[in-house]
Copies of this chain bind each other. A is one copy, B any other.
Amino acid sequence: MSNRVVQEPTLLLLTALADAPRHGYAIMQEVQMISQGRVKMRTGTLYGALDRLLGQGLIEVHEEAVVDGRARRTYALTKGGRAVLAEEAERLAATAREAVRRLNLGGVTA
């Protein structure tokens, strides 16, 4: 019953991976760009969300390299993640449309 599928920061994360695989830092920058600088995703949110999404099978590790003894992972959307993102995007768009419709109904002639 619960909606709690994905929240906005998470949705932006998925969106950031929609066109190409990216690594963590790049995702943060991409999220900022997508949201026109409004949402600055923190690392705490990022890596927490990545773990969660990996567990949910919405994203996967695309490539894993070790650079200077540090893991460098790039993540990619899975088919499931792609489907979820498409669904959520449609749902969001529908909600937004409904909000606008109602604002116009009750707004002017209230």
Q: Residues on A close to B: CB < 8 A?
A: 1-3, 7-9, 11-12, 14-15, 18-20, 34-36, 38-40, 82, 85-86, 88-100, 102-103, 105-107, 110
Please give 10 more A-B residue pairs, beta carbons under 8 A apart, in addition to A19-B106, A20-B110, A34-B95.
A3-B8, A7-B7, A11-B95, A19-B105, A35-B91, A82-B103, A85-B99, A89-B96, A89-B100, A92-B93
Residue numbers in B under 8 Å from A99 (CB-CB): 11, 14-15, 18, 85-86, 88-89
Interchain CA distance A34-B99 in the complex, whole Å: 9
Number of copies of this kind of chain in the complex: 2
Query: Would you give 13 A-B contacts (Cβ < 8 Å), ordered by A?
Result: A7-B8, A11-B95, A11-B99, A18-B102, A18-B105, A19-B102, A19-B106, A20-B106, A35-B91, A85-B103, A86-B100, A88-B99, A92-B95
